[in-house]
Amino acid sequence: MTLEIVQTGHPVLRKVARQISVDEIRSASTQRLIVEMRDTMRAAPGVGLAAPQIGESIQLAVIEDRSEYIKDIASEQLAVRQRSPIDCHVIINPKLTLVGESSVDFFEGCLSVEGYAAIVRRSAGVRVECLNERAEQTTITAQGWYARILQHEIDHLNGTLYIDRMQTRSFTNAENVDRFWRSRTIEEVQKHLGIHTDTIR
């Protein structure tokens, strides 16, 4: 079963989601929700889906970057993005810590801002302390694209969308990302668009 993904403008996307208890995590309803969120994420398709995106204001997200999503991306681009397949997993009540001072700019999209993308600066490395789908404490250390996905999904749980962090001059529909920018480096895109990266926090 797939669920409706709410779009920007829906109030639930701007609320800080509530944490959920161990008993709630282990309940049949939450376990069913996790399966439905996974199926919805795959059907979209996307690499992450947070509960607020399907109208549930709870601190839960599913993440998966399937090998089929990246099979047509050049190996050089995968290396630059530090992107590789990620098995499906769940993060609940996450606490995010940015690791190091290095940051990276790349285009991001969102299933709740359908059809659009923009360049967003994210920390290159993160540590996430959270519970998994069995309510077990776990710590995730991530770099590159995986770190970006985690930051994006945890933003959702705190009422933040990528459009709040985007380099506004880069905002574009998805068709034009492919048409104009796919073969260029992010630095070339920023230069062409007149984005002064030294002024971006």
d(CA 149, CA 122): 10
What is the residue-wise DSSP string for 86-117?
A: EEEEEEEEEEEEE-SS-EEEEEEE-TTSTTEE
174: Cβ contacts below 8 Å, ≥ 6 apart: 109, 115, 116, 117
Catalytic residue, from 4, 56, 153, 188: name it. Answer: 153
Question: In degrees to the nearest 10, what's the CA dihedral of 91, 140, 200, 185?
Answer: -100
- State whether the Cα torsion 102-173-47-15 is positive or negative: positive
d(CA 16, CA 35): 23
Q: What is the CA radius of gyration of the chain?
A: 17
Active site residue 153: yes
- C-beta separation of 136 from 84 below 8 A: no
Q: Which residues are known catalytic residues? A: 153
